[in-house]
Structure 1
Amino acid sequence: MAEIEYDDLTRGFAVRELQLAKTRAYIRWIDLPGDDPGAPVRVYLHGLGCTASSDFAHVVARPGLRGARSLLVDLLGYGLSDRPRDFGYRMEEQAEVVAELLDREGIRGVDLVGHSMGGAVAIQLAAARPDLVARLVVAEPNLYPGGGAFSTPVAEQSEAEFVREGHARMLAEQAPDYAARVRLADPVALHRSAVALVEGTAPSGGELLTRLDRPRAFLVGERSRPDAEADGMEAAGVPVFEVPDAGHNMLIENPNGFAEALSRALAGAQPAA
């Protein structure tokens, strides 16, 4: 396993990689050591077209989160990780990859955090490998078939069309902050991920999340309300925390608010009435 060391003068960190047994591709992640050796390791999974560093690096250093060792994982097809063409990029497959990473690193009982597509992957991982996950927090994950504002237009195109024209068109149409992240995503991976999100899983992510027998929470942006999925989770007994002054892109729109809501969710606090 290769490791590239950096030092930001206040705390060391590493960009790490692991060659996967099945695909032989490399998955890569940022490893932030934290300053509390007794805290559970936290694993962060990004959304569709994004990277772990763009979504979470500016969040994990905030008060309430910086103590734990944090793994900011670039899922296969995104960011620094490899882009294998023989990989399906479905949520269950990405969850298997993250599970292999944790198994090979000897890590158990993590705090697992996922946003959007990353939340869908996180739910699959927690359901399939409960030994790896102690607590789960998902931020507006894809819970049911149908896709979302970003995945649906991508999935409506054929893979060949999206690779040939759609990816470039998507870059031109998106806001600069999202376009900068999408530019780092492999078009094939992006399309196959979007198709998988539209098709959903069986059982659905919503069913799996409500059945989990460990602490879990759902984060929703204030501007995303009314939100049927958040309301459904609340009715099912899943704690729902609202991120103020933010919509789906809550990590960029209000990182302080996201960090505060995540800290409260991980601590087992009760949502505001």
Structure 2
Amino acid sequence: MRELFLTDAKAYIRWIELPGEGPVRVFVHGLGCTAASDFAHIAAHPALGGGRALLVDLLGHGLSDRPADFDYRMESQAAAVAGLLDHLGVTAVDLVGHSMGGAVAIHLAASRPDLVARLVVAEPNLHAGGGAFSTPVAAQDEAAFVTQGFARMVDTTDRPDYAARLRLADPLAVHRSAVALVEGSTPAPGDLLGALTAPRTYLVGELSLPDADAEKAAALGIPVVEIPRAGHNLMLDNPEDFARALGRALAEAPARGN
């Protein structure tokens, strides 16, 4: 585990680094998850052909700090990841984001195009309104969720693997992140994604179809790749096909600056 103190957030952001030669790949997890639990097996998969991997825990999640005065908006999380990459002196990375992490990745690519060579998003939040996980959380009062709703969410989720990841998240961070996803941003991640010039790929699980965001991405000319036998947690539901699809998406990366 490595860590960096972010002066703006007054908190440590932490990540796990897998050494390797070649491209630097940065993995950003979704709401209530951790990067290692979601992406370590993907980053090390032979389909990606090696390379250095950074598995980043967003603030309020996993091993990173839980600043109480942080807003946990996607733009703020993107700035925190950008600070980490600046600290490491890397540019033109392959950036991979799932769900909420996809929205964070889009904001990062839009605000700091120098840092991102290729972008792959897996069922990201592209517009306001939230999703199946964030919407019920955001509908609760913040204090009530922190004191009661979070524990109830951990106890009642139908995915034991999600409960295991969620236990490592901060209830306040989960709630504020969910509210931010429901409220959306201006411009929206979907609009930012359409305007990006870096190569982009959209991954969607077969069991999530029909998916309105995937259809919008396709209409923008973004390659949309379906992962068979997978739902929203596609890199866990079908890691083999997810890794192969990701490897293909990153196979023709543009020239890099690091």
Q: TM-score, normalised by structure 2?
A: 0.96
Which structure is richer in relative contact order (CA contacts within 8 A, separation 6 or more)? 2
Structure 1 equivalent of residue 201 of structure 2: 217
Deviation of 1:169 after TM superposition, in Å, equals 0.5
Identity of aligned residues (%): 68
Q: Which amino acid aligns with 2:125?
A: N
Matches within 5 A, 1:55-134: 55-134=38-117
Deviation of 1:66 after TM superposition, in Å, equals 4.8
Looking at structure 2, the residues matched to 53 and 196 of structure 1 have their Cα atoms a distance apart, in angstroms, of 24
CA RMSD of aligned residues (A): 1.0
Match of 2:122 among 121, 126, 139: 139
Deviations 1:11-67 (A, max 9, x none): xxxx10001121221000000012xx2x22000000000000110011111112251
Structure 2 equivalent of residue 261 of structure 1: 245
Contact 1:40–1:110 (8 Å) recurs in 2: yes
- Aligned to 1:231, the other structure's residue is in SS state helix
Q: Is 1:46 aligned to residue 29 of structure 2?
A: yes
Structure 1 residue ranges, 4+ long, deviating more than 4 angstroms after superposition: none
Contact 1:241–1:265 (8 Å) recurs in 2: no
Looking at structure 2, the residues matched to 49 and 251 of structure 1 have their Cα atoms a distance apart, in angstroms, of 15
Looking at structure 2, the residues matched to 83 and 156 of structure 1 have their Cα atoms a distance apart, in angstroms, of 22
Looking at structure 2, the residues matched to 95 and 191 of structure 1 have their Cα atoms a distance apart, in angstroms, of 18
Looking at structure 2, the residues matched to 69 and 252 of structure 1 have their Cα atoms a distance apart, in angstroms, of 21
Unpaired runs of 5+ residues, structure 1, are 1-14
> Do the aligned partners of residues 120 and 198 (structure 1) sit closer, same or farther apart at CA in structure 2, a change above 3 Å counting?
same
Q: Which amino acid aligns with 1:229?
A: D
- Aligned to 1:23, the other structure's residue is in SS state coil
Contact 1:30–1:72 (8 Å) recurs in 2: yes
Looking at structure 2, the residues matched to 95 and 257 of structure 1 have their Cα atoms a distance apart, in angstroms, of 28
Number of aligned residue pairs: give it: 252
Structure 2 equivalent of residue 24 of structure 1: 10
